Structure 1
Amino acid sequence: MTPQARRDDLISSALDLFGSRAPELVTVDDIVAHAGVSRPLFYRYFPSLRELQEQALRTVTDSLVEGLATLEEGPPAVRVRAAVRGLIDVVAHYRAGYVALLRSGSVIATSDTDAAIDEVRNRAVRLILESLGIAEPSPLVLLTLRCWTAVVEGSLLSWLQEGTVPRDDLESWLCDQLTTMLATTKAHEG
Structure 2
Amino acid sequence: MPAEDERVEEPPTEPGESLVLTYVVPFFGVMLIAVGLSSAILGGYVVMQDSFGLCNDPDVEVRAIEDGDPPGRTVDRIAFEDLSSAEQRAVEEATTSTLEEARVEGQMENREALLEGAIVEVDGEPYYVRIASQNSCLEAEPLLFPLGSVAVLLGIAGVLTPPIYRKMAGFEERMHRGRGGNE
After TM superposition, the score normalised by the length of structure 2 is: 0.21
> Which is strand-richer, 1 or 2?
2
> Which is helix-richer, 1 or 2?
1
Bigger Rg, which one: 2
Which structure has the higher relative contact order (CA within 8 Å, separation 6+)?
Answer: 2
